[in-house]
Structure 1
Amino acid sequence: MTRGERPVLRRAVAALICGLGLTHAAQAQETRLIEDALAAAAQTFGQVSGALGDTSMGVPTSEYRNALTRLRFASSVWGETLAVQISVAENGRGLCAGFAAYVTPAITQGAVVLTICPQFFSAGADALRETTILHEMVHVVAGTDECRAMAYTAQVQSLASGSYVPVRDYWAKNGCEGSRYKLPH
């Protein structure tokens, strides 16, 4: 992420958090955690993007990079240029009951909505936050296939550091053993 891109993200994230009724200090903390996760994910992805080719696992590399670093991308899946709208959920109900974040698989006013759940902000969850952003951006760019999102995220992390955040239980729960996607060894 370039220095010029970070202020754009800061304004976008801060504008979304302001409507939640949080204290200024809480808003600032949540904004910082989202910005840090976006920056960490962009740094990890930046280390390996050259090794991914034009497309990896059906995820177009340049679209993913733009969605991650600019929160805007020309989508080959959705057929239009879209923004990534980050929304912060007020409570842990609904889809947030089981996830740190989720992507709504529909276009809303020219944007794909990535909803951040309260679990995302848990203390000591930096690795979860970065992994969550890497994972959810696959859904933003390439659609709803959970196995692809897990495999792609694991691939990016493995190429960058030689390991990835363990997802074997979630992998099995989603029936990914029989999918066309594989986790790194």
Structure 2
Amino acid sequence: MRKLFALLAGLLLPLTVAPARAEEVQSAFNDAITMFEQARPQLGTTRFGVDIAAYRDALTLGQFASAHWGSDMVVALEAGGTGGGCAHYAAYVPLPPRDGVVPLVICPQFSREGTPALRRLTLLHEMVHVVAGADECRAMAFAAEVEKLATGRFTPVEQYWRANGCAGSAYRLP
């Protein structure tokens, strides 16, 4: 059941994207789920204000009970084009959610650029937005923390950290 959402991603995205891209998205979800499950016993019930149970449900099931948004929510995977948020990001979450749905937009560069590790990090990061809102520093600190707890290291994100002014935030990298 923990890979159900990744399976759903594999079933839904091919309707709107090329098969190779759908395979990369499903692989990234599988990797993100595996890494999160490795880190989960050390995360407690909340980390950086992220409800761990809600995060797990959003990542693995595509639905979650949200204290942050105030209702039950569904994650809707969407294939993005070349404009809007996809002009700048590999994936993004348009907020606020509407009618109990939080879209997670997967952009073309998600599959074209980067490595499997960066795709996994992107999903770990974006799922924080799904569950806990728009704070970029929180999302990156959480994703880095999951990587560090699961593997003993995390992806260097100092440039991103500086660009978003995270040094002055309440969050820290591991």
SS, match of residue 107 in structure 1: coil
CA deviations on 1:32-60 (whole Å, 9 max, x unpaired) are: 21111111001000001111111000001
> Residue type matched to 1:150 in 2?
M
Shift of 1:12: 4.8
- Unmatched segments (≥5 aa) in structure 1: none
Report the AA paired with residue 85 of structure 1: A
1:124 & 1:101 partners in 2: Cα distance? 12
Counterpart residue number, 1:10: 7
Q: How does 1:55-70 map to 2 (within 5 A)?
A: 55-70=46-61
Aligned residue pairs total 174
The residue number in structure 2 matching 1:47 is 38
Q: Deviations over 1:68-91 (max 9, x none)?
A: 000110001011111110101122
- Aligned partners of 1:97 and 1:166: how far apart in 2? 23
Q: Structure 1 length normalisation: TM-score? A: 0.87
Identity of matched residues, %: 45
Aligned to 2:118: 128
- SS across alignment from 2:154: coil
Change (3 A) 1:97 1:166: same
Could you say what the CA RMSD is over the residues aligned between the two structures, in angstroms?
Answer: 1.7
**Distance in 1 between the 2:77 and 2:85 partners?**
15
**1:96-147 deviations in Å (ceiling 9; x for gaps):** 1221100011223321001011110126621111001000000000000000
Displacement of 1:166 in angstroms is 1.2
2:173 matches 1:183:
yes
C-alpha spacing 1:59/1:114, structure 2 compared with 1 (3 Å): same
Shift of 1:15: 2.8
For structure 1, which segment, 137-146 or 120-129, has the greater mean C-alpha deviation from structure 2 after superposition? 120-129
8 Å CA contact 1:100–1:120 kept in 2: the answer is yes
**8 A Cα contact 2:65 2:71, kept in partner:** yes
Letter in 2 for 1:50: P
For residues 11-34 of structure 1, what are the alpha-carbon distances to aligned partners after superposition, in whole Å with 9 as ceiling and x for unaligned?
45433441x3x5xxx2x2222211
The corresponding residue for 2:158 is 168
Tell me whether 1:140 sits opposite 2:130 in the alignment: yes
* TM-score (norm: length of structure 2): 0.93
Partner of 2:65: 74
What's 2:144 paired with?
Answer: 154
Aligned position for 2:108: 118
Report the structure number with the largest CA radius of gyration: 1
Q: Which runs of 5+ in 2 are unaligned?
A: none
User: How far apart in 1 are the matches of 2:144 and 2:157?
Assistant: 8
